[in-house]
Amino acid sequence: MFGTTLLNTLWVGLLAGILSALVRIGFQQLFKLEGDKRSEALTIGGGIFVDISQMMMLVLSILLSIVFLVWANIDTGITAGSGTLWGFLVWVLIEQINRGIFEKRGFFWQNPWQQTLVSFVSYLFWGWAIYLVAIGFPISGVYF
């Protein structure tokens, strides 16, 4: 029983991670600041570039989606707020604490409020997208 639930959680987490990463990346592309620089990109030929930071966000999104689904199967309290609570927790842990301390980007009160708002809302949409995919596939074990 647990093995089946874990297997279903893995593939639904993969789908949720891909979709939610696209939602977050798209939302942040919609609202770019003038000071945003182009990050490192890998050229794969034909004028096609792969953005390394966005690829890392995709992998991280898949992993965090799987963690969310496993956690939601154990304790449904994390699904409060339709996944936006999970988005808020990840925004605090990843965007604020990790990047503020290790990457020296500055915490949210040191950045322009527009950048903080876009980042915050994009993580809320990110968590909501994970939740919507999870309840869309009932085999994930996550219900309303």
3-class DSSP state of 43:
strand
Please tell me the predicted confidence (pLDDT) of residue 8. Answer: 85
Please tell me the predicted confidence (pLDDT) of residue 59. Answer: 92
Cα separations (Å) of 101 from 54, 97, 104, 134? 20, 6, 6, 32
Q: Using the 8-state DSSP alphabet, how is residue 80 labeled?
A: T
Please tell me the predicted confidence (pLDDT) of residue 27. Answer: 86
At 69-86, the pLDDT tens digits run 888 888 888 888 888 898
pTM surpassing 0.75? yes
Closest of 78, 95, 57, 88 to residue 134, by C-alpha: 78
Please tell me the predicted confidence (pLDDT) of residue 45. Answer: 66
Q: Divide the 144 residues of the chain into consecutive groups of 10 and give the mean pLDDT of each group.
A: 79 92 86 61 68 83 91 83 88 80 74 83 92 84 68
